[in-house]
Amino acid sequence: MPCCAAQQFERHPDPHIADIGQGGGAEYTVGTCTNCGAHLIHCWVGGVAESIHVVSQQTIDAFIAAPPAQRKALLAGWFNSL
């Protein structure tokens, strides 16, 4: 089984962090991989699981620190750069 896939995705325990927001036409869920502990962002488009990406703690921290309007732009920029 591949690591860091949907089967190993565990939502962040804090819902304010787990449901980090939307931007760029997608919605994002923050969590970790139960297998290797990597920080993950799960991307959803139209309510359908689109992709899961390994990200750094710094990336998540930057999203959390940004005010809502700016967070949306940051998320969109990140998603478009994938």
Based on CB atoms, which residue is closest to Zn ion, 33 or 74? Answer: 33
Note whether 33 binds Zn ion by CB under 5 A.
yes
* Binding of Zn ion by 41 (CB under 5 A): no
Pick the closer one to Zn ion by CB: 38 or 64: 38
**Rounded to whole angstroms, how far apart are CA atoms 37 and 55?**
11
Among positions 35, 53, 60, 72, the unique one binding Zn ion when judged by CB under 5 A = 35
22 lines the binding site for Zn ion (CB under 5 A) = no
Distance, in Å, from the CA atom of 53 to the CA atom of 39, rounded to the nearest integer, reads 8
The answer to whether residue 36 forms part of the interface with Zn ion (CB under 5 A) is yes
When asked if residue 3 is in the footprint of Zn ion (CB under 5 A), the reply is yes
- Written as one string, the DSSP assignment of 10-52 is EE-SSHHHHEEEEETTEEEEEEEETTT--EEEEEEETTEEEEE
